[in-house]
Amino acid sequence: MPRSLILAALLAFVAVPSHAACYADYKAKRDQPLQLHYGVLELPDSACTPAAAPVEIARRIGGDGWKLLNVLGTFGPDGLDARRSDAGAYFLRY
């Protein structure tokens, strides 16, 4: 009996779907002197919504004095390569 319970527990654990990674691309600025940047960052599942993403991004980039201008969108790992060169130094920086 205990062996079957352990097996059932292991199967249940393996059957749980893993969450796909969530990424967002955004535009930000700093004043005096004016600086702009385009960036890409990874978001936790809890922030992968249109309402939560801007809050999370603004919090992260704000520590370096950046102000979020807009979130261009959220996407999965399949969209990373297409954005890597455009984001440059701000690719997965935050």
pLDDT in tens, 36-59: 999 999 999 999 999 999 999 999
Report domain extents, the chain: 19-90
**pLDDT number for residue 20:** 76
pLDDT in tens, 15-24: 333 457 999 9
Residue 25 in contact with residue 91, Cβ under 8 Å? no
Q: Write b or e for each residue in 21-59: b if 16 or more Cβ atoms lie within 10 A of its Cβ, otherwise e.
A: ebbbbbebeeeeeeeebbbbbebeeebbeeeebbebbee
pTM for the full predicted model: 0.76
**pLDDT number for residue 38:** 98
